[in-house]
Amino acid sequence: MRYKAIAEQIIEDIRMGKLAHGSRMPSLRKMSDLQGVSLTTTLNCYHMLEELGWILAKPQSGFYVSKPLAELATPELPQFKSQLREISPQESAITYRPGAYDPGPLGISQIAPELMPTETLQRSLKRGLKRLNLTIHAYPDRQGLHSLRYALEQHFSGYGFPFQAKELVITNGCIDAVRIGLEAISQPGDGIAISSPCFSGLLELLAGLGRKVVEIPCTEEGIDLEQFEAHLKQGSIKAGLFSTSHMNPQGISMSPRQKQALAELANQYQVPVIEDDIYMELGHGKVMPLPAKYWDKGGYVLWCASVSKTLTAGFRLGWCLPGRFLPAYLRLHGISHFGVSTPVQSAIADFISTGQYHSHLNKVRSQLRQNIRDYTQQLVKLLPSNSRISQPEGGMVIWLQIPGLDSKALWQKACERGLDLRAGPAFTTLSLYQDCLRINTGWPLDDSVRQLLEKLAELIELYTPSIEQQRVS
């Protein structure tokens, strides 16, 4: 068709630089005259280009040259030689100040409550309570309610990730599962390998437990396994702690080859690796990535996950497959918590076994995929033209890099204005990511979120004095 041929030529002109990125396209009528075609043909051409991401429509202004999301520049991954270092609680809390502002859509990594199946979950809670009958008065099983462990066994076997209910321990959320794991396999002063950047909550946990850290650089395929192995050979680390799927904050996932290699290294050197896999089920595709635990032959990988991101944070329910560390893990879990709320466990068991969880995940994955695209397109319009935007294939956060940005100063001003977000330095113990920000995309892009992004763009302009303030469109 004629409109497709015109669109293909325009795409080629953009790629060749004949049409500058951010420049205004000819009006519909002018393009019709230039091409000698009808207004309808030109309109179809522009709609096609807009769907593919090559142009952006700006209300009451016209169409502007853009780039499809697949061709946008992504944040740089700094490479460095990793070293063992101490981390203080004060240092780990940098650029994160609970209570300084009301939690907002851009800050905490979370899905909007209105996207959650609240009424269905309430019905599961009611049924779960009824099933417990008088056993509701008994202390919880320290390992966890068998019906829940069995429901999780069946659920994950459907993904091709088999395990047995007797191998699983139910915990108070994923961060608690990780904490127990750290206490079971290491002591204060021990070195723990982590990715760089690393979720700020894990840094605070490690600091609070008195562990030292070794930041391992991230790569496009996952993490620098050569440096990780070098530390294993040196004996400078006691364990590893890594997210492997849709890492927070940059959204990178380890490739299957890397996950297998990570599990093999843990077994070869007999060094435990805690796998924080809280985003595993939030991939934007149809195939769920397998965890590194899948390739663990000797039980040296402790796999941790939760429903806090996928379903409800308020229930504080997670789990761990501790492998060969199960006895020590159960002992520590019993000492610290004496089990997890039985009604909560019963409710989640019902929600999973009735198929509601699987149905919910399918819906929310699709929504998150659309949110990522909507936020990215909005950010392309608002941010300086040299900005770099991550393109996660799962999860709900976007990692931004704006060269020249003072993200710590921006964060301080954002706190004063009640804007909740996370600055790059919160995700490292090193002097890195000073020009980076992380924003949550779990809320649909409505007018209120657009206003927050506009406020963010204003602050970015204010704290990026060293670059040319040129808009993408």
Structure confidence by residue, pLDDT tens digits, 96-152? 555 656 678 999 999 999 999 999 999 999 999 999 999 999 999 999 999 999 999
415 against 231, higher pLDDT: 231
With a cut of 90, say whether residue 42 has pLDDT above it.
Answer: yes
- Residue closest to 385 by CA, chosen among 13, 20, 22: 22
Q: Are 378 and 398 in contact (CB under 8 A)?
A: no
Cis peptide before 113 (omega within 30 of 0): no
pTM, 2 dp: 0.84
Instruction: Give the integer Cα–Cα distance in Å for 407 and 187.
Output: 34
Which pLDDT tens digit goes with each residue over 286-343? 778 999 999 999 999 999 999 999 999 999 999 999 999 999 999 999 888 788 999 9
What residue has token string 């049924």? 127
Share of the chain above pLDDT 70, in %: 94
For residue 471, the model assigns a pLDDT of 43
For the chain, the average pLDDT equals: 91
How far apart (Å, rounded) are the C-alpha atoms in residues 47 and 26? 14
The span from the CA of 214 to the CA of 192, in Å, is: 6
User: What is the predicted pLDDT for the residue at 473?
Assistant: 40
φ/ψ (deg, to 5) at 268: -60, -45
Q: Say what the pLDDT of residue 103 is.
A: 77
CA-based nearest residue to 469, from 403, 390, 394, 371: 403
DSSP for residue 295 = G
CB 175 within 8 A of CB 201: yes
CA distance linking residue 42 with residue 35, whole number of Å:
9
pLDDT average, residue stretch 340-356: 96
Cα R_g (the chain), whole angstroms: 24
Taking the chain, what is the end-to-end CA distance rounded to the nearest angstrom?
A: 29
Q: Where are any strands of DSSP class E within 145-260?
A: 169-171, 191-196, 212-219, 222-223, 239-242
pLDDT for 20 equals: 79
In this prediction, residue 98 carries a pLDDT of 59
Residue 358 has pLDDT above 70, yes or no: yes
Q: Which of 50-54, 349-353, 364-368 has the lowest mean pLDDT?
A: 50-54
The 3-class secondary structure across 90-133, one letter per residue, is: HHHCCCCCCCCCCCCCCCCCCCCHHHCCHHHHHHHHHHHHHHHH
Q: Can you read off the two tokens belonging to residue 456?
A: 């963010």
pLDDT at 416 over 50: yes
pLDDT in the model for residue 89: 64
Alpha-carbon distances, residue 34 vs 39, 53, 300 (angstroms):
11, 22, 66
Domains of the chain: 2-68 (1.10.10.10), 71-77+365-462 (3.90.1150.10), 84-99+114-357 (3.40.640.10)
Contacts of 316 (CB under 8 A, 6+ apart): 172, 173, 176, 308, 340, 344
C-beta neighbour count of 272 within 10 angstroms: 23
Q: Report the candidate in 461, 411, 414 with the shortest Cα–Cα distance to residue 433.
A: 411
